[in-house]
Amino acid sequence: MASVVLAAGALTGCSGSTGGGGTSTTSPASTSTSTSSSSSSSSTSSSSSSSSSTSARPTSPGTGWTSGPTVVTRNLAVPPVPRVVRIRAAAHSSEGFDRIVFDIQGRLPGYEVRYVPVVVADGSGKRLAMPGRRYLQIVLRPAQGHDDQGEHAVSGRHDLDFPMLKGYVVAGDFEGVLTIALGLDDVVGYRVGELPGHIYIDVAA
């Protein structure tokens, strides 16, 4: 079962414009959290792979790891729309995971995290070239990666060379929906955590 993780002081070691941390299984009081796991839809391999890749490799450390979808719904009054102002990433090899952090201005948005077979650009539906071989998609709602003047704080493709996290692509930023896809080396367990001003995802490595 997926769980949202919260803890203080967990975002150390992530720097730069590409990165994210925490632990407890208590969701925020204002959050409605629903999760489900299905081998046919949530841990999906890419179109060129066999079905054997849909099972996550053993994951540790900690609890709250899943390879199924995670959904957190927040019904926020907008404007203002929560804005992702920076993305940071780091490898935590000694702890067994890679981490990506979304630094957020304003309230934390809701989100949906799941494996997808391909990544497409929001709006056009064009298939995007991705780093890695497996794709974990994060949809933040309501959220945006640009300011009111249209200046983007997060955009494009960013390649990384971590043990599991090979990069990410901002696949969409339109009408209060921000879509970011992680390129991974395999389908593995992940966990989602929150801190004030941050949402982070750890992927087992």
**pLDDT per residue as tens digits for the range 52-105:** 333 333 333 335 899 999 999 999 999 999 999 999 999 999 999 999 999 999
Residue 166 vs residues 29, 51, 159: alpha-carbon distances, Å: 34, 22, 6
pLDDT in tens, 146-167: 998 899 999 999 999 999 999 9
d(CA 86, CA 108): 14
Q: What are the tens digits of pLDDT across the range 94-141?
A: 999 999 999 999 999 999 999 999 999 998 899 999 999 999 999 999
pTM beyond cutoff 0.85:
no
